[in-house]
Amino acid sequence: MTAAEIKNNVEKALEEIRPFLVSDGGNIKLLSIENNKVKVQLEGACSGCSVNQMTLKNGVEATIKKYAPVIEEVINVA
């Protein structure tokens, strides 16, 4: 899988997740993909939400790995 394909698949995963975050008053932005690690920024209500780490691991990371299995980890950059 090329870097462009990985980025495209990560973007597809974020598009799948985004409606759920937006419905809670938040959003997510892709910052970078380096060494099979994705850096994202949770925005709006999601940035201060007490369950954002659970959302990140169980929702965002799981969905990204479904689209791009080479991804090892998703990191939220505050």
The better pLDDT of the pair 11, 59 is held by: 11
Please give the pLDDT value at position 62.
94
Q: With pLDDT > 90 as the criterion, what percentage of the chain qualifies?
A: 63
Starting at the edge strand found earlier in the chain, the sheet holding 73-76 runs: 26-34, 37-44, 73-76
38: which residues sit within 8 A by CB, 6+ positions away? 10, 30, 32, 64, 71, 73, 74, 75
pLDDT at 27 over 80: yes
Q: What is the 3-state secondary structure (H, E, C) of 11-45?
A: HHHHHHHHHHHHHCCEEEEEEEEECCEEEEEEEEC
